[in-house]
Each structure stands twice: as structure tokens, then as C-alpha cells.
Amino acid sequence: MAPSGFILLDKAAGETSFKALFPLKRVFCTKRVGHAGTLDLRASGLIIAATGRATRLLPYVEAKDKCYTFRLHLGYETDTLEWDGDVVEQGAALTVSRAALEAILPQFTGDIDQVPPRYCAVKIDGRRASDWAERGKDFEMKPRRIHIESLRVVGEGGLTEGCSGKEFATFDIECVCSKGTYVRALGRDIARALGTCGCVSQIRRHCIGKVSVESAVRGEDLTREHLKSVEQVLDFPVVKLDDDQMAVIRKGNWVPWHESVEGAERQQGRGDDCERLVFAADANGNVLSVCRYEPGRICPKIYLGEDE
């Protein structure tokens, strides 16, 4: 049976998220791999991938907030909302200061509605929006509710090679946001709020939840030693069960539990219905199940151990 766990990958710009998983299949000799949170082709940064039964936990990883940095180019907009796409609008030069940009950023924090880019993986009539856009089909992208935790300017005036339009200002921005946020669309909307048009470059994902790209590895350097246990990536509290209790959990039944579980009262992430999730470990500390903690009992959700 292939090993089960998480791998932290640092995806290079220009590589698809799907291709980034190829080294996992080779190193761990399995086709049972997956990842949480696809990155655009031109984006770089952290991808949390999984092998074996840990793939069942990827929805919990994907629900975590993400931290990105990106460069906002003011003055032109492209069809892809990236700096080197086909120009669809060239704006007049304006004077936009860092202070002016920082003044409008608060309107993009909290819960907001965002219209995704036309070039994206959102399904329209069974096909990706990007497929329809490439074929010149006329379609409407509906807004989606997202959450922006924070936005801050971290630099200005940077240069990017290959711009297809004429920019009059650039700013580097850091964004902490929820699942489903499109950084390209965020850059578009910020530019419009400033009275101009814009696009982005150099999108990089730095964190997913509390996991940082600083702990990630490039695919070409991946070895079996980079496999991380599930509790190293997901911060669910761990409860230890004896053999009899674990046997009950494995069969899909709940076990009585009258002890307090530190950390189980907090919400485990946006979008998971505020479930109180815990890892159930055996007497040796091996995590074998994800369970739901309820007053007086622990109920199994996902079994991670090997079959008998």
C-alpha cells in the first residue's frame, strides 16, 4: 500500500498544478495523489498535495485561508487579466499614489461579491469558462461570495518584462483570502475602484492556513523523506484511543467521550459548518481517523488507517 500523507510543493511559474504532481507519482509509486487549491499556470508557490488515504482530507486543506502576493499593473486590462494577455482596454495615464491605493483597499476586505475572470476553471454549461472564452463564446460570469481577510501594499514601482499594454504605475500587494478568491479578478476590481483599468503579474501563494511555502520543496528535489503526517498540516486536536475504542471507530460507530478536548471548541476553518474535528490516534500516537467531537462522544468521519 502506498504511504499516506501530505507533501508541500513549491510550484514554479509556467507549470500546471496537474504537472506538479508528476514527481509524487514517481517517488511514491502510486497514482492515488491529489492536491488542494489549483494555482494558475503563471502563478507560483505553495501547493499541498496528498497521497493515499490522506487525499480524503484535501477538502479540509482547501477550506483554509490562503496568503498571496501579486503585482498590480495600472493603466491597461487584458483578456486574461494577466500582464501579457491581449489588451482589451488601454486607460489614460493617471496619478495614483500609494496613499490613494491604501485608502480604497478597505472596501475589498470582509465578505464581498467577486465576478471570476473569463479565463478560469469555473464550469459554464459543463465546460470550463476558459474553454468558451478561447472559442469566442459570449457568456456571463456570475458573482460569487468570497472573504478577504486582509490587504496591504508591500511595494511599488516594480518592473515586469513582457507587458502587453502601457502601465503608468505598479504596486505589490499582499492578500489573505478565502477559498474561491481569484487574485486576477481582485486586481481588476481594485484598478476600477481607482478609476482606471488594470491586470496582475507575479502571483505567488505563500501560505495555506498555517503552512508556509518556506517548508515546501520543488518537485525535482522531492524524496520520500518529504512526506508529512496529516497532523503536521491540519491542526485538528488529537485524542488517543485504546484498542477497543479504535476498533469501534473503525467500524463506523461512535465512542463515549467525557473528557475535555483542548482546541476542539474552535472553528476549524471557514466553510466546514463549524464542525469540531479531531484526529483519533491509537495508543502509539498513530493518527488513524478524523472524527467529529460532540458533547459526550466522538463520531468517526474518515478512516485513515490500513485495511485489516
Alpha helix (H) residue ranges in 105-257: 129-134, 183-193, 243-250
Q: 6, exposed or middle or buried, with CB in 10 Å at 0-12, 13-18, 19+?
A: buried
Phi, psi of 33 (to 5 degrees): -130, 160
Span between the terminal Cα atoms of the chain, in Å: 12
Q: Residue 272 catalytic?
A: no
Sign of CA dihedral 53, 59, 61, 66: positive
Active-site residue among 40, 111, 138, 273? 40
HSE toward the beta carbon, residue 227, CA cutoff 13 A: 18
% helix, strand, coil for the chain, step of 5: 20, 35, 40
Separation CA 28–CA 57 (nearest Å): 18
HSE toward the beta carbon, residue 251, CA cutoff 13 A: 9
Sheet strands (E) in the chain: 5-11, 33-36, 44-51, 66-74, 76-78, 87-90, 110-114, 123-124, 127-128, 144-156, 169-177, 198-208, 211-212, 238-240, 255-257, 277-281, 287-294, 296-303
Catalytic residues: 40
